[in-house]
Amino acid sequence: MLKPQSAIFQENSNQFYHLEYQLDPSYSAEKIIPALQHALTKQSDQINLVVAFGKRLWQQLNPTWTPVELEEFTTLTSPQGHTAPATQRDLLIWIHSLSHDNNFDQVLHIQNALSGIAELKLDLPGFTYHDSRDLIGFVDGTANPKEDQRQLAAVIPEGQVGAGGCYVLSQKWVHKLNDFNQLPVEKQEKVVGRTKEDDIELEGDAMPADSHVSRTDVKVDGKAMKIYRRSAPYGSATESGLYFLSFACELERFSIQLKRMYGLTEDGITDKLIDFSDAVSSSYWFAPSEQDLARILN
């Protein structure tokens, strides 16, 4: 049985690092694979490492098959002008652990290994903020699947092309914290769809149709479009936000949620939360099973 990369589901980390690379299309697989082998050699047993590929690089390294739904991200624009820009890249490496030191040692090793074949396009550390809150002050990931439900939501099932792997969506969001924090807490809660202090989902008439929860908690033909989120806040004195990272058994689950957020469904309702945060990067990826990854690298 094909197994997903185990580090996807390791949840005890509080320090994260995200690297996105663009590779020169002229480089052959014979040149890329040794560099990848070297880059993915762990520098510490204490870190977790996940690798995912954009469609172009995946097809170059594995020309015999591609997961059916895998595609490159295309820009989305809401009726009000919010955008989720397509910045499709070739290679995603996600490092996480309990030690920024160990993460950073691995980052330096990866960059040294790949600098001759790839251009680093995103270089972003993240962290757990208080009790797993986003920087807007609300708990993030409350509705995430638990225990066995995680793999049901995240992993392509046996019998399908890419079984044991995951479709992945990554987006860097830059928050407008000053604007959001000027709202009274009650209005903040209407934007998110949950209470701020005790993290309780709003119900009935108290839940606005344009809240983030309303737009992203989706069922299609009675089936919940669950995804498994592993997002992390990031920040400096001048810029802060969320690196949204999520895994799914169907890429459609991402596209449905994004269309609902950006007002691109029949009801035309836009997620109120995107008034307070801008997506500045967006890519789709495929994170192959451990066996398929080992086969490609060897």
| Residues annotated as catalytic (active site), given as ranges | 140
Extract the tokens encoding 231. 């997002």
Cα 133 to Cα 110: distance, rounded to the nearest angstrom: 29
Residue pair 226/253 in contact (Cβ under 8 Å)? The answer is yes
Name the token pair of 171. 């987006």
110 exposed, middle or buried (CB, 10 Å; 0-12, 13-18, 19+)? buried
Helices 29-39 and 100-114, axial angle in degrees (round to 10): 160
* Alpha helices for 122-197 (secondary structure H): 148-154, 177-181, 185-192
Q: Is 136 exposed, middle or buried (0-12, 13-18, 19+ CB in 10 A)?
A: buried
CB-count exposure of residue 30 (10 Å: 0-12, 13-18, 19+): exposed
How far is Cα 12 from Cα 122, in angstroms, rounded to an integer?
24
H-assigned helices in the chain: 29-39, 55-61, 100-114, 148-154, 177-181, 185-192, 212-216, 251-261, 290-297
* Helical H segments across 14-147, by residue range: 29-39, 55-61, 100-114
Give the whole-angstrom CA distance, residue 202 versus residue 188: 12
